[in-house]
């Protein structure tokens, strides 16, 4: 069986951050990623964001990481008027009260994950490696007589394509997904399993729609590309163009597709964008509709109660489960929960706990 000091489950930004910091601390690491790509909810197609896209001025870890990795960024475009749609029609607002000051990753948000992964030792991230079982042998307590020749203390991680032994593991995926997809032996403490199942996945009930055009025609009409709609399907719309308006794109957040009016989602989007931004919006060069509620490596099949964001950063995630399992996803973060910054903070806290305690460190 393969052996490493620490196995990280999930190559989202949290898992990659954990790996990066533990490699720097001299640990041997394997990152096991279910998908055939890394980045998790940082998903970019030809530089266009289909998952996260913004960072904000009050986020120190994201800023520091951008600088450290030399990732290109540009400010979110905000100039011009916004639009507002309700059942009575569309109004042009004076100015743009919808967008706040924020930054964007010029190569797409996934470029942050890729840049971080690129400096890990070759072979650290193993894609197409879903973890389906986690067996903990020895609780990690110094007093426990856990080690025997036949069952060495530590963690055995299993899946269709993996068999790995580690001293510690970091579960860098949404807790609700972990409890649904991974068989834990011994089982997770009941309270923790209940907490995990109840903790919603950030953006797990959102469809992101991106329309790419040959040029940002709305800017020529003095529009910021920002809008709010009470008709839908897009409820909140923003400019998603690259630096200098290239590639030109608008994006909107919408409900999961099964809550849309039946039939022709592409047509519904195009008609709404025409209503909001004019006839030139009718024929995007590309139209991406990503329903994150259908992403099986992001959202469990029985989603948690959608409004329990108060459970984010629960103190239970701070102490290692069975003495050896650490938790790090944006949902476990005590601040900035839901954001990239939260994922980085959760990762840093897990690393501190792991380096600061117990055997196998």
Ligand X SMILES: Cc1cc2nc3c(=O)[nH]c(=O)nc-3n(C[C@H](O)[C@H](O)[C@H](O)COP(=O)(O)OP(=O)(O)OC[C@H]3O[C@@H](n4cnc5c(N)ncnc54)[C@H](O)[C@@H]3O)c2cc1C
Stretch that binds ligand X, among 148-156, 210-218, 308-316, 333-341 (CB under 6 A): 333-341
Q: Among residues 164, 173, 234, 249, which is the contact residue for ligand X, using CB under 6 A?
A: 173
CB of 143 to ligand X, least distance (A): 32
Instruction: Sketch the per residue contact string, 67 through 86, with ligand X: x for CB under 6 A, - otherwise.
Output: --------------------
Compare residues 41 and 324 and give the one whose CB is closer to ligand X: 41
Structure tokens at 67: 């600088």
Stretch that binds ligand X, among 21-29, 92-100, 166-174, 183-191 (CB under 6 A): 166-174
Three-state DSSP at 300 gives coil
Report d(CA 151, CA 29) in Å as an integer: 21
CB of 251 to ligand X, least distance (A): 9
Nearest of 17, 329, 360, 291 to residue 179 by alpha carbon: 329
Please give the residues from 258 up to 317 whose contact with ligand X meets the rule CB under 6 A. 292, 297-298
Stretch that binds ligand X, among 223-231, 299-307, 310-318, 338-346 (CB under 6 A): 338-346
Q: Is 208 exposed, middle or buried (0-12, 13-18, 19+ CB in 10 A)?
A: buried
Does 171 participate in binding ligand X (rule CB under 6 A)? no
Burial 44-71 (b: 16+ CB within 10 A, else e): beebbbbbbbbbbeebebbbebbeeeeb
Instruction: Sketch the per residue contact string, 20 through 59, with ligand X: x for CB under 6 A, - otherwise.
Output: ------------xxxx----xxx--------xxxxx----
CB of 232 to ligand X, least distance (A): 16
| Residues in the chain, total | 361
Report d(CA 208, CA 289) in Å as an integer: 6
Compare residues 203 and 281 and give the one whose CB is closer to ligand X: 203
Three-state DSSP at 130 gives coil
Q: How many CA atoms within 13 Å lie on the side-chain side of 240?
A: 30
Give yes or no for a cis peptide into 40 (omega within 30° of 0): no
Instruction: Sketch the per residue contact string, 106 through 145, with ligand X: x for CB under 6 A, - otherwise.
Output: ------------------------xx--------------
Burial 215-233 (b: 16+ CB within 10 A, else e): ebbbbeeebbbbbbbeebb
Interacting residues with ligand X (CB under 6 A):
9-15, 32-35, 40-42, 51-55, 130-131, 172-174, 177, 181-182, 202-203, 206, 208, 292, 297-298, 329-330, 338-340, 342-343
């Amino acid at each position: 069986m393969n052996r490493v000091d620490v196995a990280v489950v999930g190559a989202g930004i949290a898992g990659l951050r954990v790996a990066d910091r533990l490699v720097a601390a001299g640990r041997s690491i394997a990152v096991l990623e279910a998908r055939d790509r890394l980045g998790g909810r940082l998903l970019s197609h030809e530089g266009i964001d289909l998952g996260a896209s913004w960072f904000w001025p009050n986020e120190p870890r994201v800023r520091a990481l951008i600088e450290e990795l030399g990732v290109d960024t540009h400010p979110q475009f905000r100039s011009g008027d916004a639009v507002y749609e309700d059942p009575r029609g569309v109004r042009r607002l004076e100015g743009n009260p919808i967008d706040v000051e924020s930054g964007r990753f010029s190569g797409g948000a996934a470029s942050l994950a890729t840049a971080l992964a690129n400096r890990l030792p070759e072979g650290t991230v193993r894609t197409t490696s879903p973890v389906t079982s986690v067996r903990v042998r020895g609780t990690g307590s110094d007093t426990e007589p856990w080690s025997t020749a036949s069952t060495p203390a530590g963690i055995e991680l299993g899946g269709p394509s993996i068999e790995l032994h580690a001293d510690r593991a970091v579960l860098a995926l949404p807790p609700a997904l972990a409890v649904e997809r991974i068989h834990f032996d011994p089982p997770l403490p009941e309270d923790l399993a209940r907490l995990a199942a109840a903790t919603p996945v950030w953006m797990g009930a959102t469809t992101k729609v991106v329309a790419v055009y040959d040029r940002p025609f709305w800017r020529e009409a003095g529009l910021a590309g920002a809008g709010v709609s009470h008709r839908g399907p897009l409820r909140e719309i923003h400019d998603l163009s690259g630096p200098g308006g290239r590639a030109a794109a608008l994006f909107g957040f919408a409900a999961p597709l099964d809550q849309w009016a039946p039939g022709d989602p592409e047509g519904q989007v195009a008609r709404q964008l025409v209503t909001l931004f004019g006839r030139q919006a009718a024929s995007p060069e590309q139209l991406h509709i990503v329903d994150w509620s259908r992403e099986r490596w992001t959202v469990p099949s029985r989603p948690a109660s959608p409004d329990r964001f108060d459970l984010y950063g629960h103190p239970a995630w701070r102490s290692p489960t069975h003495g050896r399992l650490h938790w790090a996803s944006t949902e476990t973060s005590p601040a900035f929960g839901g954001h990239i910054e939260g994922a980085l903070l959760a990762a840093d806290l897990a690393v501190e706990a792991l380096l600061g305690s117990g055997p196998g460190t």
